Amino acid sequence: MRAAQNDGMPTALVTGTSTGIGLHTAVGLAAAGLRVVATMRDPSRDGALRAAADAAGTAVEVVALDVTDAGQVARVVAEAGPIDVLVNNAGRGSVATLEQLTDADLQAQLDVNLIAVARLARLVLPGMRERGSGRIVTVTSVGGAVGQPFADAYCAAKFAVEGLMQSLAPAVAPFGVQVSIVEPAAVASAFVENVARPSEPGPYDALLDAYLVRAAGTFANAQPAEDAARTVVEAATTATPKFRWQTSDAAVAFAGLSLGDLDGTRVLAATSSWLR
């Protein structure tokens, strides 16, 4: 079904809006005066989003979208009309080290966290370029700056998408298109409770246990998703855009650990300590 058009209002397309950062970003952009096309794989899970929009006195348009389905992505972008702001928020996590990962596991991370982002950006860029304005904001992670044990596939995909966006940014800026990435640290979720462990015992079990103990402490004090989303909304709407944003002091400190570590010594010292 074609999404309704609201003449005179800039349009934002936000992926992964059924929960968390995506939900609050969609509501925040609508509250800022944008027409928001809020996408999710299963629109029957739109209850929390609609309730949050109602509580904020605004509304969003919910559209079904599996970001790994190229045909569906193309249809949604075309039917949404001219898109002024694209927020790539849909993502996928993984907990396993390389020996435990199959090619299919790696591909699944790349499909959601890299290829889908590239596909959406490619589709909205011609219109933005021709109109001379636009914003592409991609929610990555501090895992796109700091490689972390047992997040091998996830960090690999997030590193890749940060490289893609950083390479794209200067090429499209002369056409009025601003590209940004937003790096949250831990955001409140049921990550530790829901994590899928390797099914068979193996040599990495003790290290994984230590990692999960640390992760439990980190997520127990995690940033609320609504707070993190405020940074995404700011990146999408500010009059003074920049490329790299972090959503909290913890994210600033953690991303900075890698960005200022030219030989990698500080990063490996820090992440190795997580497994002891």
Which residues have a catalytic role annotated?
Answer: 154
* Alpha carbon of residue 208 to chain centroid: 25
Closest CA to 108 of 144, 67, 140, 72: 67
Find tokens 């992440």 and name the residue. 271
Give the β-pairing of 134-139 and 85-88: parallel
What's the CA gap between 175 and 206, in Å, rounded? 52
Structure tokens at 110: 């790349």
Angle (deg, nearest 10), helices 225-237 and 20-31: 50
The residues, ordered by sequence, that sit 6+ positions from 254 with a Cβ below 8 Å of its Cβ are 142, 145, 146, 185
What's the CA gap between 231 and 246, in Å, rounded? 8
What's the CA gap between 49 and 17, in Å, rounded? 7
| Cα Rg of the chain, angstroms | 19
